[in-house]
A and B are shown apart, each in its own frame.
Chain A
Amino acid sequence: MSAGESELYLFDALAWRLARAQPGLREGSHRGRMRGAGEAFADIAALLAHPDPRRLDLRRSLTDPFGGFFVRRFERRTDLVLHLLLDGSASLAAGASSDRQGLAALLAGGLAQAARRGGDRFAMQAIGGEVELLSQPPSRRAGLGDEIRARITAMIPQGQGAAGLIAAAEALPQARILVALVSDFDHAPAELDALLAALSPRPVLPVWLRDTGLEEPPDRFGLVETRDPETGRRRTVLATRRWAARQVQAGRDHRDALRRVFAAHGLRAIEIADSIDMNALIAALEEAPL
Chain B
Amino acid sequence: MIGFGLPLALCALPLALLPLAARWLKSGDVPRLDLRPADGASRAVDLGLTALGVTAIAALVLGISDPYLKGGAVPHRGNGSNLVLLIDRSSSMDDTFAGRAPGGQEESKSAAARRILQDFIEQRPDDRIGIAAFSTAPLQVLPMTTSRTAVAAAIAAQDERGLSQTDVGRGLALAMEMMRDASSLGSRAVVMVSDGAAVIAPPVQDMLRELAAEQGVNLYWLYLRTVGAKSIFDDGRPGESNTPQTRPERHLHLFLQRLGVTYRAFEAESPEAVEEAVAEIGKMEARPILTERILPRRDLDWLCHLLAAIAAGLLALARWFERPYAPRRPAPLMRPA
Give residues in A with beta carbon < 8 Å to B: 7, 10, 90-91, 93-99, 102-103, 106, 184, 186-188, 213-214, 216-218, 220-231, 233-240, 243, 246-247, 250-251, 254, 274-279
Contact = CB atoms under 8 A, between A and B. Distances in A.
Contact of B326 (A10, A214, A278): A214
Interface string B2-37: 000000000000000000000111111111111111
A225 B326 contact: no
Interface of B: 23-39, 41-42, 45-46, 49, 318, 321-335, 337
Contacts of A275: 331-335
Contacts of A231: 33-34
A223 B333 contact: no
Given A93-B29, A247-B37, A276 B326 contact: no
Nearest to A103: B333
A97 B25 contact: no
Contact of B334 (A96, A188, A276): A276
Given A236-B45, A254-B35, A278 B337 contact: yes
Contact of B42 (A216, A221, A237): A237
Contacts of B23: 225, 234, 236
Contacts of A229: 29-31
Contact of A224 (B28, B31, B330): B28
A236 B32 contact: no
Contacts of B32: 91, 186-188, 228, 230
21 contacts: A7-B334, A94-B31, A95-B328, A95-B330, A97-B329, A102-B330, A103-B333, A188-B32, A213-B326, A224-B322, A225-B24, A225-B25, A227-B29, A236-B45, A237-B38, A240-B41, A243-B42, A250-B36, A274-B331, A275-B333, A277-B335
Given A226-B27, A236-B42, A186 B35 contact: yes
Contacts of A279: 337
A184 B32 CA distance: 11
Contacts of B318: 223
Contacts of A106: 333-334
Contacts of B35: 186, 188, 254
B323 A220 contact: yes
Contacts of A277: 335
Contact of B49 (A102, A236, A276, A278): A236
Main secondary structure of the interface of B (DSSP, over half): loop
Contacts of B24: 225
B134 to A, nearest CB: 78
Given A97-B329, A106-B334, A250 B37 contact: yes
A238 B323 contact: no
Contacts of A96: 325-329
Contacts of B333: 7, 99, 102-103, 106, 275-276
A278 B334 contact: yes
Given A10-B334, A102-B330, 13 more contacts: A90-B31, A96-B327, A97-B328, A186-B31, A186-B35, A187-B32, A188-B32, A214-B325, A223-B49, A226-B33, A228-B34, A240-B41, A278-B334
A276 B327 contact: no
B30 A228 contact: yes
B336 to A, nearest CB: 9
A6 B306 CA distance: 65
Contacts of B324: 224
B323 A222 contact: yes
A91 B31 CA distance: 5
Contacts of A250: 36-37
A238 B45 contact: yes
Nearest to B334: A276
A227 B41 contact: no
A247 B45 contact: no
Between A214, A218, A235, the greatest number of chain B beta carbons within 10 A of the residue's beta carbon is seen for A235
